Structure 1
Amino acid sequence: MLTNEIAIVGIDSQFAEFANIDRVARALYVGKEIGKEVGEDLSNEISIANSTLADVINDSTARMFGALSFSELAEQEHNSVIKQLDVIVISEQSLDLESNVKAEGHINSVAVVSQLSEALTLALSLIDKGRLVALVGLNITSLNKDVEQRSVEPSNTISFDSDFAGYQSASGIASLLLAPQAIAQQLQLPTYAQLNGLSISAVNADAMKEAVLEALKSIDEKQVALVEVSALEDEFHSELESSVLLEAYRDVYAGESLTRAISCVRSITGEGAGFSQVLGLLRTVIALQQRYIPGINNWQAPKAEQLVNWQSSSFYLPTESRTRYPNADGSKHSAAYSCLTQDSYCHLVLSEHALENQDDDIRLNGFIASSELHLVLVNGEDEAELQQKLSQLAALLPAKKGHDDLKVMADQQYQQYLTTSTKKYSIALLAESNEELTKEVQLAQQGIKNVFINLSQAELGKVTPNAQTQWKTPKGSYFSAEPAVNSAEESSVQSYSNKSNNVCFMYPGIGATYVGLGRDLFQLFPEIYTDVANLADDIGSSLKDTLLNPRSISRLDFKALKQRDLDLRGNLADIAEAGVGFACVFSKIFTKVFKLNADFATGYSMGEVSMYAALGCWQQPGLMSARLANSATFNERLCGDLLTLRERWNLPLPNSKTEETEAPIWETYTIKATLAQVEAACIGETRVYCTIINTPDSVLLAGFPADCLRVIDKLGVRAMALNMANAIHSAPAKAEYDDMVALYTMAVNARINTKLYSSSCYLPVPQLSKAIAHSIAKCLCDRVDFPRLVNTLYNNGARVFIEMGPGRSLCSWVDKTLEHENKHQEVTQVTGSSSKTSVSVPVNAKGVSDELTYFRAIAKLVSHGVKLDLNSLFYGSIVIDKKPTNKVMATTDHSANTAQKKSLPVSDR
């Protein structure tokens, strides 16, 4: 057991093509998308001479040491603990490093051991004396002349998996800087996590189980959400470790199924001996600090002989990394690391380091800034200037080869963009390599030429069919010769909040929510985590974490995931709550990260509820969770048992359990038809309703299934059932009007500048408690005419429509509606009218990574003249910067949020 708690105050790593800690941290999260070079050794980057290896160790420890920002008091005292550190290298190779490493000025001593357990034993003795200790795990496969080189595919899983075939060999360096917790607090050192418990044992089942139980005693509460395992390659040690963990954690966490994740860094890197030992600990620290649960590469299922034991345990084995939300009781999260070698075993328990002021606890990273995907911006006043700059960019590309070269080029283009942001046109290029960027530039040169030809023809009145004034590529590069925002009226990036961007945030209905929604958003945009967490007492429950990110022992196949989606869609209260929660997430990304506020906003169906919550109209939107969970209207009257319909149509109640009660009594269909056609076909039908008009020629038809099918047959159109049995936007829903008003009546904040449009009146809604509640109730009872809503917004100035939710349905309907208006004007030859220039932008697409979708969205917005703060795409690091200026900046960032929390209720008089 530890005599003193230990703070991890520095982190560093390199392996394969990942040359710094930010790229390593990204690789550890993404996992399966890592290239095939993970098995290549560090000799690709450096010489393997001992003196050079010493330089690698010196550099790694120097980076960690140099990142520490000591207080003035500590500097004045010249405490010996801050002058030098002790280095312990964990390597299973014979390395003569002591003399070379010790020569560096910041290092006091160096020792080389072969086991992490040995290193920790030595480290504890030094830390108890008030020393700073660096643990450095190192492996160079090219030094292992006796290692058999096998052709193992890099799509490794771990040795607990029934499909496991073996690990590839991996080289790398992983380092952590340890300090006594008391000294870390005194000197205000950046802290990534805390080591609370440690127990070391021999390699046998009884001793290992005792070590696990002893280490777990270091924490009072059962908050271990993650266990990083070693999962060694050989069958004996693999089964030994898994059996010990299953038995020990069953004793401690009996009856808590699917509550603790198993992770293993070897599923990413393969076997790296001392490097792997320390990287497992580093990965655990990063996962705690960055608030996520890591996935296991290519995990399928446990070995058959252990399947029953896994199923009866508290563990699950995630196949994708995902966000880890705060504990509902406010307690810290903890994680454990099970480190097994051939000769020793240790079990470590760590806890996250959280700031006292939760609003300041923003844990930044370099996830997007380290992405292989880069945004390269080119702007100019006319076609000639754009083509000139594209040619200049193309000329530079042959000399640029590596990841860092492309990153530098993208950064230089961004800086140039900032200084010339008032230029009329902007091209946004997306690429993951220099070769790809070369192709995108070539496509842009021809594409932009064609776009300007089309634009000049249109200005002369020579409109050709399908002529485009926008250019885009499958990758997502984009250019518009007709920016939706009038660039002549815009301000510079530095004053983006002072001018209108003509932006409308659109909030979709609840039907688009799906399993896996938003899995990576908090890793991409860590700035929003605390703001979103503050929206509810249990934000994980509000965002339906266990439903959207299902836990399992074996990988869920396509059929199982599809069934989870169907089950999710069948519960109106759950998807409504998740829809509201993620609307807040999507909105925060734009308002907090990109500094873009909406001039207009609207909601489609229950998206109106999302709109008010996401834009901060209600003081406590988190109250909606309990209200929806206990709402008879949305759990049994208009959904579930559909009691309102049964009473209205004199149908048997569910408790009668007859064949008639088992048959569905409500279905919603999407069909291609106009409202006039549907109304004509519905004459004489009392149980069929046109609930929503999506576009001028596409509607939703809902009601009693047999009656709906009869109307559909009359129309002679195809229909697609949506499998959503909820009876909103229909005459029967009006019976629940008063209950809806009560449900949505909540205290409001001070009025915001955004104009909030509702389909209840097709006008801006007064931001008063009762007005909002009545607007929502009326919206949910009446038919939604979305084309009318879109045209109203456009006529009042909206030009940029951003869909704040899953899917791109609203974007598609906006495009079709405005295109229909353009054609109508051409046919009727409306005098004084002009083509409706606009852009619709989705920010989430099922089956496409969140990162790529946001890059594509940003490319569109920038080219259409929308002013955004794009710094997070180019800059950022997981390395904590504790300089005083950062604290001031963080406080400034939160000032608006704090003011909102403290605002008083607004009177409804």
Structure 2
Amino acid sequence: MSVPPKKEADAEANELSSSMTTAQGQEGAAPLRLALLLQPAGSDLPAALKGERVIELILSETDDNLARQLSRAAECAGEDGLVRLHGPRQSLLLMPALKAAKAKLHPHAILAGLYLGATQEGALAGALHQAKRSANHLSVIRRLTEDDPLAAFDSLCRLISDIAQRTITRIDTSAATPTATPTATPTATEATTKRHYWFTEPYQGRVAAMILSAGESQAGAATSQLALILTQGTGRLKARSLLSAHQLFFLIPGSSEAALNQGLWALAAALDRHGKDDQQASQPHDQEIALIEMMQANLEAFATAAPTRFVISLQATSIDGLKLEISAMSEALTSVCKEKGEYRTPSGSYFSAAPLGQTKLAFVYPGVGTIYPHMLSELHSYFPALFTRLQQQGDLKAMLQADLVYGGDDSICQQMPLSSMAIAGVGASYLLTKLLMDEFAVQPQFALGYSMGEAAMWASLDVWQAPHQLIDKTLKDPLFTQEISGPLEAVRQAWQLSDNESIEWNSFLVRCPAEQISALLERYPRVYLAITQGDTCVIAGCQHCCEALLKELNKRGIPANRVTAMHTPPAEPLAPKVAAFYRQALLPGSANHEIKFISAANLARPQEQEHDQALNQHKPLSSESIAESIAQTFCHRLDFGALIQSASRQGAALFVEVGADRQNCTLIDKILKGSHAPHVSVPVNAKGTSDITTLLKALGQLISHRVPVSLTVLQLGLKRQLDLLLQTKAQQANTQAKTHGDTPHAAPPFQEDA
């Protein structure tokens, strides 16, 4: 006899409420503290739990209530049990956190609250109370219906995976959501999402909530809502591999053109053999496994062999693409070697017939204004240990001004005040410097900065003892908030304006020789030539006066819409204040730093110092000399063209831009175009391009220029990728064996980091 819909819904709600009595606990009870571990479907229990009795709960398309299954699993696990909830692709293992700790397992998340309520708000409030958390601890709230329990289970697993990967997924909508505000997932179709590092306040873990509509009445209104509170566990998913079957990377060494050609042909032949073997492959992952093993062997051979004069770096996203890269490189090789030039492809393959070497390597730090929304958002999943380390060393969220850069509303990032923009720019340079030096062992011989990039240089290269202390100072000091930005008090004083007179300030990028602009400045006393950079200049000052000067020049200026008086005469009296601000204690031993630091200050006051001379060339670094060089750079006209020419004369030729976007690379190429001294500019990041693609292109260029680069990160990534493929293959073999009644092989354990 069938149950009427209304009674059926009520019975289901009563059953769910009853089953949650133990899991939910009494008012004021301690948090659940249930450890959650993700496993690929079909995996065995972790070795530490072998022999334990496990309760298996299997979800299927016919299930209509994930909330009931979760509450049952929590109830059983809460009684010192071990429960596994199975979905089609993943399984979720639940057990008391103490049990996991005794087994030395690292949970991907902790279930700290589970509460049934009549409304979403009531359920969430109850779960937060049980978890001993408040609403402002939440960074994410996911709201799901029970229309598809398997899809809801997948969403739960993705949220747990995000916590373990320290990744936050945000819905990309026209109504932006600030970082500090929880994000919600639509209950209908998935919207476009953006993913980035899950920033937290110092020493705070990640906390998320999920609300499941557990049942519906006849009228269609939800009768019960189940809220879960998930907190960060000690487990962390392993880093994603930079290389895969869809991101190929091969190195071809050789001491002559003939040796390079031989290496290219050998790789082409190996790919042909691989293609024939693939046609005979019985398993779907055999081709991918063979390709990764081929990359592994190539990198291992390169890392252990004696250095050669030349190296070709090949990159592609498929085997067919790689064959085209080999063909193009082979055709270009003769002319490139004859001209001692370079050859590059859009896919990232690169070869230099005149390697510049490490002795000419310079890190270039960009200035204010290069940051952009969601910059560097891919890196954390490939370098999780680096992000963890940086977060332990300082406030990573503040260092990258995460609330503004990753908040979801691009216009907020683009309208950041100068102080926040400066901090985020320095933070991006700091992160990329540590990535290159700590993860790939790249060691520059020179360093220089564009404007505020000079401060980024000192902060990033292990000179200042506590660079993170400057974050809060920069946000609050009147020097940055009122005098050279904001109300522009320095300009008001220079122009002798009263308090009620407004300043309409702007700066413009104009393609014009500096001499033509300088010839008109006397007639426009409120316009300043702030920066010269090759064939372009930046003028700043009264917006109407700047527009009038541009009209007289018959030039079009691109407005920056940025309020800063840096590099203009009104800033010159502030030099002592700037020096005092940047007078920072140095790290022990940094006074005799091996890197040669080139400052634009040398060019701002040529009567006092030689032009072509690193700041620490003839004397040790000191807090005073660094502070003075920054003050002179910030408060006087910046001649970036002269700075690059000076660096070139001192021996720098391989310029690596360490910061957001690649604006300095474009300028350097223009400045040194036609120069007798060879040079190459290498961006590590580029707006509008995948972070990983740009990084791999940069590494390929450095390797081809014979800069020592550690391949360990690439090799370990390939090993993890291979392990995962073998694990998947073993699981498929297990499934087939069980289907045919054979004895299955044990699947490798789920990979994770503590």
In which range does the TM-score fall when normalised by the shorter chain? Answer: 0.7 to 0.9
Contact 1:729 1:783 in 2 (8 A): yes
Task: Return the letter of the residue paired with 1:88.
Answer: E
Structure 1 residue 728, shift from structure 2 partner? 0.9
Structure 1 residue 613, shift from structure 2 partner? 1.1
Q: Aligned partners of 2:359, 2:104: CA distance in 1, in Å?
A: 42
Three-state SS of the structure 1 residue aligned to 2:162 is: helix
Are positions 1:509 and 2:367 aligned together? Answer: yes
**Residue aligning to 2:640:** 786
Are positions 1:61 and 2:43 aligned together? Answer: yes
Match 2:242 to one of 341, 346, 368:
368
- Structure 2 CA distance for partners of 1:718 and 1:755, relative to 1, 3 Å: same
Task: Return the letter of the residue paired with 1:519.
Answer: S
**Residue aligning to 1:870:** 711
Contact 2:507 2:562 in 1 (8 A): yes
Three-state SS of the structure 1 residue aligned to 2:510 is: strand
**Residue aligning to 1:525:** 383
**Residue aligning to 2:519:** 680
Aligned pairs for 1:255-266 (under 5 A) are none
**Residue aligning to 1:290:** 165
Contact 2:78 2:95 in 1 (8 A): no
**Residue aligning to 2:683:** 842
Greater alpha carbon shift after TM alignment, 841-850 vs 183-192: 183-192
Match 1:324 to one of 198, 202, 208:
198
Task: Return the letter of the residue paired with 1:764.
Answer: L
- Structure 2 CA distance for partners of 1:114 and 1:721, relative to 1, 3 Å: closer
Provide the alpha-carbon RMSD of the alignment. Answer: 3.2
**Residue aligning to 1:703:** 541
Match 1:393 to one of 267, 283, 286:
267
Contact 1:369 1:872 in 2 (8 A): no
1:286-317 alpha-carbon deviations (Å, 9 max, x no partner): 11121121144xx5479xxxx9x99xx96466
Are positions 1:807 and 2:719 aligned together? Answer: no
- Structure 2 CA distance for partners of 1:125 and 1:546, relative to 1, 3 Å: closer
- Structure 2 CA distance for partners of 1:131 and 1:316, relative to 1, 3 Å: closer
Three-state SS of the structure 1 residue aligned to 2:193 is: coil
Are positions 1:623 and 2:469 aligned together? Answer: yes
Match 1:741 to one of 579, 594, 610:
579
Structure 1 residue 754, shift from structure 2 partner? 2.0
Three-state SS of the structure 1 residue aligned to 2:369 is: helix
Q: Aligned partners of 1:740, 1:5: CA distance in 2, in Å?
A: 53
**Residue aligning to 2:126:** 214
Q: Aligned partners of 1:90, 1:346: CA distance in 2, in Å?
A: 19
Contact 2:59 2:85 in 1 (8 A): no
Task: Return the letter of the residue paired with 2:157.
Answer: L
**Residue aligning to 2:507:** 668
Match 1:608 to one of 450, 454, 473:
454
- Structure 2 CA distance for partners of 1:759 and 1:342, relative to 1, 3 Å: same
Q: Aligned partners of 1:2, 1:759: CA distance in 2, in Å?
A: 64
Q: Aligned partners of 1:581, 1:688: CA distance in 2, in Å?
A: 31
Contact 2:146 2:152 in 1 (8 A): no
Q: Aligned partners of 2:562, 2:455: CA distance in 1, in Å?
A: 18
Structure 1 residue 779, shift from structure 2 partner? 0.8
Contact 1:87 1:133 in 2 (8 A): yes
Contact 1:88 1:119 in 2 (8 A): no
Aligned pairs for 1:196-345 (under 5 A) are 196-199=112-115, 201=116, 206=118, 210-222=122-134, 223-231=137-145, 273-274=149-150, 276-296=151-171, 300=173, 315=183, 319-328=193-202, 330-340=203-213
Three-state SS of the structure 2 residue aligned to 1:196 is: strand
Three-state SS of the structure 1 residue aligned to 2:343 is: strand
Structure 1 residue 535, shift from structure 2 partner? 4.7
Are positions 1:416 and 2:301 aligned together? Answer: yes
Are positions 1:574 and 2:574 aligned together? Answer: no
Q: Aligned partners of 1:573, 1:720: CA distance in 2, in Å?
A: 22
Three-state SS of the structure 2 residue aligned to 1:686 is: coil
Report how many aligned residue pairs link the two structures. 653
Q: Aligned partners of 2:460, 2:255: CA distance in 1, in Å?
A: 37
Contact 1:403 1:433 in 2 (8 A): no
- Structure 2 CA distance for partners of 1:842 and 1:684, relative to 1, 3 Å: same
Contact 1:377 1:427 in 2 (8 A): yes
Contact 1:123 1:133 in 2 (8 A): yes
Three-state SS of the structure 2 residue aligned to 1:227 is: strand
Task: Return the letter of the residue paired with 1:217.
Answer: H
Contact 2:245 2:288 in 1 (8 A): no
Structure 1 residue 872, shift from structure 2 partner? 2.3
Give the TM-score normalised by structure 2: 0.79
Q: Percent identity?
A: 26
Contact 1:6 1:195 in 2 (8 A): yes
**Residue aligning to 1:259:** none
- Structure 2 CA distance for partners of 1:124 and 1:725, relative to 1, 3 Å: closer
User: RCO (CA 8 Å, sep 6+): is it higher in 1 or 2?
Assistant: 2
Contact 2:82 2:94 in 1 (8 A): yes
Structure 1 residue 729, shift from structure 2 partner? 0.9
Task: Return the letter of the residue paired with 2:681.
Answer: S
Structure 1 residue 420, shift from structure 2 partner? 2.8
Q: Aligned partners of 2:245, 2:383: CA distance in 1, in Å?
A: 13
1:822-870 alpha-carbon deviations (Å, 9 max, x no partner): 2xxxxxxxxxxxxx23321111211112111112211211111122123
**Residue aligning to 1:691:** 530
- Tell me, which stretches of 5 or more residues in structure 1 are unaligned? 14-56, 71-80, 95-112, 139-172, 234-270, 356-361, 456-468, 486-499, 823-835, 881-889, 892-909
- Structure 2 CA distance for partners of 1:501 and 1:870, relative to 1, 3 Å: farther
Q: Aligned partners of 2:239, 2:195: CA distance in 1, in Å?
A: 16
Match 1:135 to one of 85, 103, 111:
85
Structure 1 residue 633, shift from structure 2 partner? 1.9
Are positions 1:181 and 2:38 aligned together? Answer: no
Q: Aligned partners of 1:642, 1:345: CA distance in 2, in Å?
A: 54
Structure 1 residue 341, shift from structure 2 partner? 6.1
Contact 1:336 1:347 in 2 (8 A): yes
Greater alpha carbon shift after TM alignment, 581-590 vs 2-11: 2-11
Are positions 1:725 and 2:544 aligned together? Answer: no
Three-state SS of the structure 1 residue aligned to 2:666 is: helix
Q: Aligned partners of 2:550, 2:74: CA distance in 1, in Å?
A: 76
Structure 1 residue 594, shift from structure 2 partner? 1.1
Match 2:615 to one of 761, 764, 778:
764
**Residue aligning to 1:151:** none
Give the TM-score normalised by structure 1: 0.67
Task: Return the letter of the residue paired with 2:246.
Answer: E
Greater alpha carbon shift after TM alignment, 727-736 vs 868-877: 868-877
- Structure 2 CA distance for partners of 1:679 and 1:213, relative to 1, 3 Å: closer
Contact 1:9 1:189 in 2 (8 A): no
Task: Return the letter of the residue paired with 1:212.
Answer: L
Q: Aligned partners of 1:418, 1:87: CA distance in 2, in Å?
A: 48
Structure 1 residue 758, shift from structure 2 partner? 0.9
- Structure 2 CA distance for partners of 1:871 and 1:346, relative to 1, 3 Å: farther
Structure 1 residue 431, shift from structure 2 partner? 1.5
Three-state SS of the structure 1 residue aligned to 2:330 is: helix
Q: Aligned partners of 1:450, 1:85: CA distance in 2, in Å?
A: 69
**Residue aligning to 2:607:** none
Contact 1:133 1:179 in 2 (8 A): yes
Q: Aligned partners of 2:161, 2:385: CA distance in 1, in Å?
A: 16
Q: Aligned partners of 1:711, 1:529: CA distance in 2, in Å?
A: 47
1:134-162 alpha-carbon deviations (Å, 9 max, x no partner): 32212xxxxxxxxxxxxxxxxxxxxxxxx
Contact 1:90 1:114 in 2 (8 A): no
**Residue aligning to 1:86:** 54
Three-state SS of the structure 2 residue aligned to 1:427 is: strand
**Residue aligning to 1:261:** none
Contact 1:670 1:701 in 2 (8 A): yes
Structure 1 residue 446, shift from structure 2 partner? 1.2
**Residue aligning to 1:439:** 324
Task: Return the letter of the residue paired with 1:91.
Answer: L
